[in-house]
Chains A and B, each alone.
Chain A
């Protein structure tokens, strides 16, 4: 039997973490295109009128809806991760870098989702938050503690 199938928490954790990262990647792509287009429109670069890229309003919605979809999956992933750690180490939480990364990531996406859903922020700043959160993911992958 494959090792990750031995523990149901680990199985769930692996599936959900990959799924949420893919969704967050798509959200950050929408955010990036938003920022490029927004900058062009603010600086009156006429090229923007020729581009076939979607409009700002659509990109803004796409970004936060994808985050809204990815966030509960990320939450599920962290919870299942915590239970898996308990199964193998006996303790739920030990503040290792991997756990700190996931906590920061979760808080950042929670904050992004909150400000957008409560309409305190919209557009540019939400896009920057989305990119910042995705940068945490990239950073955690590169620091070898996903």
Chain B
């Protein structure tokens, strides 16, 4: 028996090419069945996410051209001439497949190293292939072992630790400063991509309400609609500063729009309630000195980025431990597979 994976991912191809090969539309269960029939494979499983498309397959030892049959299938299914993209694909065999899958399911092969969403996607792909009855003894065991290994890596190393996006770093900080977010309010001044992501993330984390203001009120209204928030005229936002707990500033203003004096005068009106200011603008919107006021915490985009970088480095420092776990798990699987092959031959 031979185990292979043929795939394309975010490292080998940009999204314009990956999307040509992604399996959307038809249920993946059906595609698995089609693949098994047309490529005459012993076992197969398709993993299709936005960052990768991979086909795991088991073929008979004497089967010499199963690979071209898989490629033909891919070309026919997507109505593409596959030879144009051959250099984008990677092909692993036997123990390299095992290692690859273990790395993928543990998030080591992901764009954001250590992210755990991929494990859910791999599990989903496995369930669909099982449902399609295109998996057998080898892929069952391979994927079960992949899930165990991913779990082991998650619990025994710090690969999933920390926050590796600006938004999640900001939310963690907000929780540390303000406690529960369910009764907290945020004000976003100006619009920007990072700001919008952050607002959505805060909302997902249970923030009570959001106010949006912008120099052009129409734009604020559009944003407010997207967030399920309330739009506010730019002239009126200063009055609201005493009510909110989080301020996200991301205007294109050339100077600081929030000064130390503004906040110093604001604090008695706020009854000294803590205020978390997130300055995403470049040049900055909030005077640095603001951070010196009691109960006021100012983080700018660089501060948040530093948190992210520290965490990414922490994750990278864990790679060696992860590799050790993967190598020993791979070896156990390969031994099992060799044993299975032997039994197969004896029969």
Contact = CB atoms under 8 A, between A and B. Distances in A.
A41 B297 contact: yes
A50 B272 contact: no
A134 B139 CA distance: 65
B178 A55 contact: yes
Nearest to B309: A46
Contacts of B172: 49
A57 B307 contact: no
Interface stretch (B8-16, B17-25, B161-169): B161-169
Interface in A95-146: 119-125
Contacts, number: 59
Interface string B157-184: 0000111000001001101111100000
B306 A119 contact: no
Nearest to B308: A46
Interface in A4-18: none
Interface in B243-279: 268, 271-274
Q: Is the interface of A mostly helix, strand, loop or mixed?
A: helix
A49 B307 contact: yes
A37 B176 contact: yes
Contacts of A46: 306-307, 310-311
Given A50-B161, A120-B272, A122-B273, 5 more contacts: A41-B297, A55-B177, A56-B177, A56-B179, A57-B178
A42 B296 CA distance: 9
B249 to A, nearest CB: 17
Contacts of B173: 41, 49
Interface residues of B, number: 26
Contacts of A56: 176-179, 274
Contact of B274 (A37, A44, A123): A123
B295 interface: yes
B313 to A, nearest CB: 11
Nearest to B292: A42
Interface string A35-74: 0010001101010111000011110000000000000000
Nearest to A57: B179
B2 interface: no
B271 A44 contact: no
Contacts of B177: 41, 55-57
Contact of A49 (B176, B295, B297): B176
B149 to A, nearest CB: 25
A128 to B, nearest CB: 10
Interface in B113-164: 161-163
A44 B176 CA distance: 12
Contacts of B176: 37, 41, 48-49, 55-56
Contacts of B268: 120
Contacts of A124: 294-295
Nearest to B176: A55
Given A49-B162, A49-B169, A124-B294, A44 B303 contact: yes
Nearest to A120: B272
Contacts of B295: 122-124
Please give me the 3 A-B residue pairs with the lowest Cβ-Cβ distance, nearest first: A122-B272, A57-B179, A119-B271
B291 interface: yes
Contacts of B306: 44, 46
B179 A55 contact: yes
Nearest to A118: B271
A45 B19 CA distance: 41
B271 A122 contact: yes
A44 B307 CA distance: 9
Contact of A42 (B169, B273, B291, B307): B291
Interface hub of A41, A120, A121 (most chain B Cβ within 10 A): A41
B234 interface: no
